[in-house]
A = this chain, B = another copy of it.
Amino acid sequence: MTPEEFRRHGHALIDWIADYRAGLEPQPVMARSQPGEIRALLPAQPPAEPEPFEALLADLDRVVRPGLSLWQHPRFMGYFPANSSLASVLGDLASTGLGVLGLSWQSSPALTEVEEVAVDWLRQMVGLSPEWSGVIQDTASTSTFVALLCARERSTGYSMVRGGLQAETQPLVVYVSAHSHSSVDKAALLAGFGREHIRLVPHDEAYAMQPEALAAAIEADLAAGRRPCAVVATAGTTATTAVDPIEAIGALARRHGLWLHVDSAMAGSAMILPECRWMWRGIEQADSIVLNPHKWLGVAFDCSIYLVRDAEHLVRVMSTNPSYLQSSADGQVKNYRDWGLPLGRRFRALKLWFLIREQGVAALQARLRRDLANAQWLAEQVRATPGWRLLAPVHLQTLCLRHEPPGLDAASQGEALDRHTQAWAERLNRSGLTYLTPAVLDGRWMVRVSIGAETTEREHVQQVWQAMQREVQA
């Protein structure tokens, strides 16, 4: 494709995307595809000869479009929001169009330096001290994994340059909560700690980790000759947006030399609001933090920010320096390849930079406050309506709720209640009006309503609430 063809087809695709975004509201929110249905629309073999771009564009309508759940739909309330704001989409387009790679600073200096600036802007926006430096990773899964590798290497005095984790004789232990994200468990397993060395610290009735229970678990491991290595605290858990007490956990981590990683993938965006910062009180005691601007804040996926206090340690764990990547600028510059797993890096900073500039901090704050108010409004409706129950505090924009009709209480009729919950949620999702996420809490199914798509206004929340009330009667 020549630049002139790109110009023509690019305009057509931009128009297609503009129409797609403008036309979301009348569409069903959750994809109705059957397994294998999309695959069956495509040829089993690759084409030998070129196809016109118009055919590709037509297949976005014929094949792709019907097979999408619509994450930017104003009534999308599943998982957590992923806003992919249009200014950020353009930042990402600029990145792909420029086609440069970050292997080293020299391989494209702007890629590194704009990332330094944009990440530091975000640091300021969420109220962290200048002690922190950050890097863009793909997802919180990766950021948390890097955190646990850094913890492992700090605890072992860099076992990697000797016999590795497999040569360590005194087992390392990682402390998490049953409400930590699934990626935390995965990261600990992949880092080689082993299931037997992952402690699930008990939580309180608000699903927050109990520091006393953490202290007891650490003491028990120490007494048994094991080495407490790391604790992962969460600001805004996935199931209920619970908030672990970071200050108390941080004090324990300091006392026992544990690495404290804070997963604020979700709540991190809310930290641009000073009134929300109680959620990570004590954050300066952490060793590493992850927050995901690609969720609620609006950066196009993928853009996860990993922040550390000791960048030198991070680089020592992750660095690689073959001769073909050395340049005369080394020593004066950051080489972000040494801040994460991949060697090659996209110019991801552009999509963060574009969003912050096109919106301005004040508008981002106003949008998040709107969503928090919408969540509180819905929480009031739920509390005030017989048969409905809120199951967890509404700290952010996500509600955990259940409809418990007379005669179906959770204690005595749990399985029947589960069937009721799953049935109405499935009906509602299939109806196309919204997309909510059913999940298990304390062994029983409930439904998460996660407000915060960029176009979600009060009226959309009202529509979903009305539909929920209708559906449970069906």
Contacts and interface: CB of A to CB of B under 8 A. Distances in A.
A30 B426 CA distance: 56
Given A79-B324, A166-B168, A343 B183 contact: yes
Given A46-B361, A50-B359, A192-B165, A107 B86 contact: no
Please give the count of copies of this chain that the complex contains. Answer: 2
A383 interface: no
Instruction: Report, as a range, how many residues of chain A touch the other chain.
Output: 35 or more
A71 B101 contact: yes
Contacts of A149: 190
Nearest to A4: B18
B82 A194 contact: no
Contact of A96 (B92, B189, B239): B92
B35 A332 contact: yes
A448 B65 CA distance: 45
Contacts of A360: 47-51
Nearest to A328: B426
A171 interface: yes
Q: Which among A36, A328, A342, A438 has the highest number of chain B CB atoms within 10 Å?
A: A342
Contacts of A167: 171, 194, 196
Interface string A268-293: 00000000000000000000000000
Contacts of A470: none
A106 interface: yes
Interface string A336-362: 000001111010001000101111111
Contacts of A325: 182
7 contacts: A1-B87, A3-B22, A56-B91, A67-B109, A71-B101, A163-B196, A186-B320
Given A84-B99, A165-B192, 10 more contacts: A10-B93, A20-B98, A21-B97, A39-B116, A46-B121, A49-B362, A139-B343, A139-B344, A159-B194, A160-B194
